[in-house]
Amino acid sequence: MTKAELVEDVAEAAELTKKDAERLVEIVFESIIETLNQGEKIELRGFGSFRVRERGARRGRNPKTGDPVSIPAKRVPYFKPGKELKELINDPDAATRRASEASATHVADETRQPPIL
């Protein structure tokens, strides 16, 4: 899935214009990047977590020449999928059930009457 396809899905699911959905997706990405740059972890229950891992300096080889090269230390983003995401990927029926439940909840929320005060 490309970013454009993600924007399209968000626009359709949330009944937004593509422009608003694109801005929403951009805000989420910017927030993730900013949080990781600050060295913090992002935990999305049921989905997974994003972290930054430190990769130490090491010796490597130039694949073309075989000469040894020094690879500097760096920070790399890392995503660890959550238990629920793993289960949904390995059980396609569970993903279908979850989508049906979410749809039913959305319909129930729309038909719920506001409390009378």
Q: Which residue has the tokens 């990047």?
A: 33
pLDDT tens digits for 38-72? 999 999 999 999 999 999 999 999 999 999 999 99
Q: Residue 29's CB: how many other CB atoms inside 10 A? A: 12
Instruction: For the domain made up of 46-81, give the CATH fold.
Output: HU Protein; Chain A (4.10.520)
Is the entire prediction scored with pTM above 0.75? no
Q: Hey, where are the domains in the chain?
A: 1-40, 46-81, 82-112
Query: What is the spatial distance between Cα 35 and Cα 18, in angstroms, rounded to a whole number?
Result: 26
Strand partners, 80: 49
Q: Measured on CA atoms in the order 111, 18, 27, 49, is the torsion positive or negative? A: positive
